[in-house]
């Protein structure tokens, strides 16, 4: 394949990008895999995961996960409706599950499929912190971060293939692959991921505040997360996530803005922390 053909193939892919702006970020998003394909795949993977893991039901904690999740989903819909985006969540199939696992983590798949691991509960300590985690994970889905990561990964692969086709010399091709692998990961993919985390932190604060939870608790959650990790983390530039202190500082700075946003929806006070 000639270099001109390679360029044409890449341009064809670029023309497939979604030009619509995400209502939560105001940004145009990469969308090589449309939600009409992404959501059904995510739903199937979610069901498979639940079938292979121990789901906790009928407990105070599992009920709390569902309650908080429903409140965050309602907050998202209220925000979207108020900003002229009615129907944005039409294809979402919200589901909230607590899974018995010591992993300190939670996640939300495209389309609203959520899992909390029991291992994160002791670090959260209270329902408000659960709302902070829930808001953050839901924000990833609402901002189409999963779709964007898949699309960026596809482009990364296209770049690698194009380079290998264009470079005929084996030695030069090997040097290209090494440089491209490191450069695209550290210079593009990791910063891309960190930006998603920062976006999700901001959107999540808004959602938890509109749902009636004090956004100031999000920073305190990350203080506890930092202690739970024992301070073990790679340098920020080599990580998919911002440094813990960076997140704490950002969340602290954004909390007043989230409170102001909540006032627009009639939220002038917040629920107690809700110990569990």
Q: Which residues are catalytic?
A: 137
Distance from the Cα of residue 147 to its chain's centroid: 10
Pairing between strand 106-109 and 95-99?
A: unpaired
β-strands 55-56, 95-99 pairing: antiparallel
Q: Cα angle at 181 between 177 and 184, to 5 degrees?
A: 130
State residue 261 phi and psi, 5-degree precision: -65, -40
Q: How far is CA 203 from the centre of its chain?
A: 10
- Using DSSP bridges, classify how beta strands 55-56 and 113-117 pair: parallel, antiparallel or unpaired: unpaired
Closest to 23 in 3D by CA, of 78, 91, 69, 94: 78
Residue 205, token pair as written in the block: 């604060």
Torsion sign across C-alpha atoms 214, 219, 222, 224: negative
SS3 of 9-34: the string is: HHHHHHHCCCCCECCCCCCECCCCCC
In b/e form, how buried is each residue of 38-51, taking b as 16+ CB within 10 angstroms? bbeebbeebeebee
Structure tokens at 21: 């702006």
């Amino acid at each position: 394949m000639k270099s001109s053909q390679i360029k044409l193939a890449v341009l064809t892919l670029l023309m497939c990008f979604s030009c619509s702006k995400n209502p939560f970020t105001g940004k145009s998003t990469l969308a090589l895999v449309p939600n009409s394909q992404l959501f059904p795949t995510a739903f199937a993977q979610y069901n498979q995961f639940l079938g292979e893991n121990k789901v906790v039901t009928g407990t105070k904690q599992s009920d709390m996960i569902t309650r908080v999740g429903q409140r965050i989903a309602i907050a998202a819909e209220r925000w979207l409706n108020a900003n002229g985006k009615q129907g944005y969540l039409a294809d979402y199939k919200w589901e909230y599950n607590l899974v018995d696992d010591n992993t300190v983590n939670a996640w939300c798949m495209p389309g609203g499929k959520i899992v909390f691991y029991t291992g994160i509960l002791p670090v959260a300590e209270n329902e408000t912190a659960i709302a902070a985690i829930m808001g953050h994970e839901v924000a990833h889905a609402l901002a189409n971060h999963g779709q964007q990561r898949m699309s960026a990964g596809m482009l990364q692969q296209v770049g690698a293939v194009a380079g290998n086709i264009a470079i005929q010399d084996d030695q030069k091709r090997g040097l290209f692959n090494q440089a491209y692998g490191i450069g695209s990961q550290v210079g593009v993919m990791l910063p891309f991921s960190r930006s998603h985390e920062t976006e999700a932190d901001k959107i999540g604060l808004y959602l938890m505040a509109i749902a009636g939870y004090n956004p100031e608790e999000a920073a305190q959650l990350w203080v506890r997360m930092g202690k739970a990790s024992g301070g073990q983390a790679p340098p920020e530039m080599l990580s998919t996530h911002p440094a813990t202190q960076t997140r704490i500082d950002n969340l602290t700075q954004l909390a007043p803005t989230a409170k102001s946003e909540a006032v627009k929806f009639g939220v002038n006070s917040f629920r107690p922390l809700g110990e569990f």
